[in-house]
Structure 1
Amino acid sequence: MARQVISPGWKVVIGSGIGISFGAAPIFTSGFALLTSAMAHEYGWNQTEVAQAATIVLSATMIAYLFCAWPLDRLGSRRFAATSIALFAISLVVLSQVGPSLSQFYLAAALFGFVGAGTNVVSYAKAISRWFDRKRGLALGLAASAQAGGSFIVPLAAHGIITRYGWSAALLSFAAFEIVVCLPLVAWLVKDSPPADASVPDSGSRPQIAEPEVAEADIGAAEIVRSATFWKLALCFAAIGMSFYAIAPNTMYILTRRGDVTAADVAWIQAIGAIAALFGRILVGLLLDRLHARVVGILTVLLMATSMLINGTATGVATMAAASILMGFAIGGEADLMPYLAGRYFGTRSVSKVFSWLLFAFCIGAAAGPVAFVRLSTLSDSVVTPLLLLSALQIVPVALFLSLGRYRTAPEPAFNLAAAPS
């Protein structure tokens, strides 16, 4: 029998990466500032009104994450992700047709956030966790790193299309790409779990051993919410979410007040940050397979704090780009850490459930970030004060990561005792 060039597990990673690369997260974090800036310019909206739309997107995503686990467990990653991609494309079309009415804009933003939740890492984490054990961190990191690839392309594509044809054409172009490219590839490549006789990507050609799916008992919701570990993780990611999304949708607002920066400069600064996030996610994935997740989490938080300090003092494009690189490395680890921690502390059968709830906590913080940043900067008549306060806030996730205990489920050892001769 001919040897497969790419094993089925790695095909799942590739398919997941394609879906993630142009999901709601990269379009929102890297394209929303450019798109809404063009919309605001055309319709006369102010920055506070635009920031409120970002909060609505994040709030709708937060609500959606509460309901993701149930359909994910019943439909599986492949069908749930494909359905989400189709609905997200529709939401982009709706957003492209809004007029000067803020009510229309906010309703379209809510739809974008709600249906877009299923296009993110949450849809694929359980499938990847079932295909991988010892290399789970690397597999999650590679899939999540595709978001950085999309985050590099989105601002450049958005700026180019907006300049030539307008913001509505940019949104319609993204919608077409979702249907023509992302949807069929995800449906083809993503498989929910390996069959009983499949090879495991972790160890080449050895047969599939009953991985955590059979060995683990399902962990009920009551046990999860009573766990101190769960609440530490939830609070930790809420703080990280607020910190990052206080900045991401307000990037144009922040950078143009720190120096002589154009929209094209902002697009390139965001694209550079996306490249850093690409490498950051792969690096974090590798580190998760070698170091305890709390150590990796602390490193990413410290990078985020440093980025905020630099942005608070930067005046030149080169310095701002350096801050964007650090932020890219930092936030690149978030998509790896959450599903990895969910699987290690609560088991692979509970990955979708716990990951969804951690994303909910992340979005609670994220939803508060954009408007809070603008209002604080208005009160202080400066963007420096909120940036410095956000940097100081990172002591909270650092302390929470330090307090985490041992994993509930340890990675499978390289030498499998079950396969050893008796």
Structure 2
Amino acid sequence: MSSPPLVPRLHYGWIAAGITFVTLLVAAGIRSAPGVMMVPLETEFGWSRATISVAISVNLVLYGLMAPFAAALMDRFGVRRTMAVALSVLAVGVAATIAMGAPWQMILLWGIVVGAGSGSIALVLGATVVTRWFDSWRGTVMGVLSAANATGQLVFLPLMALAVQHWGWRAAVLLVAAAAAILVPAVWLLMRERPADLGVWPVGATEPPPPPPPRGNPARTAIVALGEGMRSRDFWLLAGGFFVCGLSTNGLIGTHLIPACFDHGIPEVRAAGLLAVMGLFDLVGTTLSGWLSDRWDSRRLLFWYYSLRGLSLIFLDAAFGPDVFGLWLFAVFYGLDWIATVPPTVKLAAQSFGRERAGVMFGWIFAAHQIGAAVAAFGAGWIRTDLGDYWLAFVLSGVACLFAATMSLMVGGKKPIPA
């Protein structure tokens, strides 16, 4: 088409983004469950936090490593099919955990099955949908989709904590499994692949999008993309920064904040409320970050995000005071910065590697994020088991954030990055 096609008042890109938001929200609720389950599992089965952290670490690694292959699967088999299959796997895998009674079963179900399923609908799904459906508003929409992770915690964590308190951890597990199962038919009926399928251009497009790349073997596509990335300095800088991002969020705070609160005499429901507050403020912070990434230098945004996060983690242990005011202040401040790094990172990846390669390349960058999360999930659990508290884990993570802040300024070298 040489001229923009006529479109209805509501562009279908917004509907695709809405379905993606709900999917990421449910996936986030599932991923946040281990933080609520850790103490009940420790109490019921006598498993140490280091043992439980092994399963969580496997989950986080697979969650990340699946991302580039999921992006390739979306190119090969379609976004709708990938989302529906992943949600089905999650529903079955999560529901099956109510029957586990040994650590290896938790590693198999929560680590491998749930890790692979959730990794197939990770943030790379949002990056793929945004780059396909939006030319304008791209950073803002990516910010909102990234914030779905926070909103998932906001919605599910208090509910799961209450379920654990009144009916046990199995009720909390069944709650999130049911949410995944209910979403499958909605995704199948409403999700669409590309604007061209409906005879429209992406939102805000001034020229027709390029044709999709030839469909090939998903595994080969992902591996070839990794090879290209490993020859790129920007890839290593973005992946290194995102490694630290995962180290300081999902792996540390998302997994161990509730157990750390429990160590200081703070009940689980109140601790889950802290994470929910983080989710609420991250919804604001990440959406604002997407808006800013459409207007400001993404490298400088990342510098400030990582710097402020690092300082907050270094002083986190001091926040566990008797009045817990400092902890609530941390929840608000840290929540604004939780995953605000995602929109500028996605934008830098698209600028460095192009629209059609952005999904797969961001998938590998996100894999680094989850490897960092796995390192923190296991490492913090080991530190707590060996030393008796989380102080060293918080400080090391904070120092790593300060290094990531410096790396962010080096993306693009001395050459200006085009808008």
Aligned to 2:328: 321
- Determine the structure 2 residue equivalent to 1:15: 19
How many residues end up aligned between the 2 structures? 399
| Aligned mates of 2:311, 2:74 — CA distance in 1 | 37
Determine the structure 1 residue equivalent to 2:191. Answer: 190
Structure 1 CA distance for aligned equivalents of residues 228 and 65 of structure 2: 22
- The reply to whether residue 6 of structure 1 matches residue 7 of structure 2 is no
1: CA distance, partners of 2:90 / 2:418: 36
Alignment check: 8 A CA contact 1:127 1:191 kept: no
- 1:105-141 CA distances to partner (integer Å, 9 max, x unpaired)? 1111221111111122212322221211231101111
Matched, 1:247 2:249: no
Match of 1:402 in 2: 409
**Mean CA deviation greater in 6-15 or 331-340:** 331-340
Q: Distance in 1 between matches of 2:104 and 2:273?
A: 31
Query: Is 1:85–2:87 an aligned residue pair?
Result: yes
CA distance in 2, matches of 1:225, 1:252: 37
| AA at the equivalent of 1:42 | E
2:358 match: 351
How far 1:6 moved relative to its partner?
2.5
Q: 1:212–1:347: 8 Å Cα contact kept in structure 2?
A: no
The letter for the 1-side match of 2:255 is P
- 1:150 aligned counterpart, secondary structure: helix
Once the two structures are TM-superposed, the CA of residue 243 in structure 1 deviates from its matched residue by 2.1
Distance 1:21 1:155 in 2: 12
Preserved CA contact (<8 Å) 1:213 1:348: no
CA contact (8 A) 2:21 2:148 kept: yes
What residue is the counterpart of 2:367 in the other structure? 360
- 1:210 corresponds to which residue? 208
What is aligned with 2:218?
Answer: none
CA distances 1:162-216 after superposition (whole Å, capped 9, x unpaired)? 2222211221221112121x2233333332221284254337xxxx61235579x
- Asked if 2 retains the 8 angstrom alpha-carbon contact of 1:18 and 1:186, the reply is no
* Change in CA separation of 1:177 and 1:408 when aligned onto 2, cut-off 3 Å: farther
Secondary structure at the aligned position of 2:337 is classed as helix
Instruction: Give 1:89 deviation, angstroms.
Output: 0.9
- Residue by residue over 1:13-59, the C-alpha shift from the partner in whole angstroms, topping out at 9 and shown as x without a partner, is 11110110111x3432x321112322222112222112222112112
Q: d(CA) in 2 for partners of 1:188 and 1:338?
A: 31
- In structure 2, the CA distance between the partners of 1:367 and 1:313, relative to structure 1 (3 Å rule), is same
Q: Which residue of 1 aligns with 2:30?
A: 27
What is the CA–CA distance in structure 2 between the aligned matches of 1:160 and 1:63, rounded to whole Å?
A: 32
Choose from 36, 60, 63 the match for 1:61. Answer: 63
Residues 335 and 91 of structure 1, relative CA distance in 2, 3 Å threshold: farther
Q: Deviations over 1:295-337 (max 9, x none)?
A: 1212221231132134221114221122122222222224324
Q: 1:272 is matched with which residue: 266, 272, 277?
A: 277
Q: Secondary structure at the match of 1:223?
A: helix
Percent identity between the two aligned chains? 22
Distance 1:17 1:27 in 2: 14
**Which segment is superposed worse, 218-227 or 230-239?**
218-227
Aligned-partner SS, 1:291: coil
Are 1:292 and 2:297 matched, yes or no? yes
Amino acid paired to 1:255: C
Deviations 1:56-79 (A, max 9, x none): 211222332352233121122222
Task: Tell me how far apart the structure 2 counterparts of residues 129 and 66 of structure 1 sit (CA, whole Å).
Answer: 15
CA–CA distance in structure 1, aligned partners of residues 340 and 143 of structure 2: 8
| AA aligned opposite 2:125 | S
CA distance in 2, matches of 1:354, 1:213: 19
| C-alpha displacement of 1:380 | 4.4
Residue pair 1:69, 1:356 contacting (<8 A) in 2 also: yes
Amino acid across the alignment from 1:20: L
Counterpart CA distance in 1 for 2:12 and 2:296 is 27
Distance 2:209 2:308 in 1: 35
Cα separation, partners in 2 of 1:295 and 1:188, compared to 1, 3 Å: farther
Structure 1 residues 214 and 363: alpha-carbon distance in aligned structure 2, compared to 1, 3 A threshold: closer
Q: Secondary structure at the match of 1:394?
A: helix
CA distance in 2 between partners of 1:62 and 1:183 (Å): 22
Q: Which amino acid letter does the alignment assign opposite residue 157 of structure 2?
A: P
| Contact 1:347/1:408, CA 8 A, preserved across alignment | no
Q: Please list the CA deviations of residues 248-303 of structure 1 after superposition, one character each: whole Å capped at 9, or x if unmatched.
A: 2111222233x431111101101101101111110111011001211121222123
Distance 1:65-1:200 versus aligned 2 partners, 3 A rule: closer
SS state at 2:44 partner = helix
Instruction: Check whether the contact 1:65–1:359 (CA below 8 A) recurs between aligned residues.
Output: yes
Matched, 1:335 2:333: no
Residue type matched to 2:17 in 1? V
Gapped regions of structure 1 (runs ≥ 5):
412-422
TM-score normalised by L of structure 1? 0.87
- TM-superposition CA deviations, 1:85-119 (whole Å, max 9, x none): 111111111222212x1111111122111111112
Over 3 Å counting, the alpha-carbon distance change for 1:26 and 1:307 in structure 2 is farther
Q: Residue 369 of structure 1 aligns with which residue? A: 376
For the 8 Å contact 1:145–1:277, the answer to whether it is kept is yes
SS at 2:204 equivalent: helix
Q: Check the 8 A contact 1:212/1:348 in 2, yes or no.
A: no
Superposition CA RMSD, Å: 2.5
- Tell me if the contact between 1:134 and 1:202 (Cα under 8 Å) persists in the aligned partners: yes
Tell me the residue number matched to 1:305: 310
**Which residue does 1:419 correspond to in 2?**
none
Q: Tell me the distance in 1 between the aligned counterparts of 2:84 and 2:65.
A: 20
3-state SS in 2 of match to 1:119? coil
In the TM superposition, what is the alpha-carbon distance from 1:381 to its structure 2 partner? Answer: 4.2
| Residue type of the alignment partner of 1:193 | R
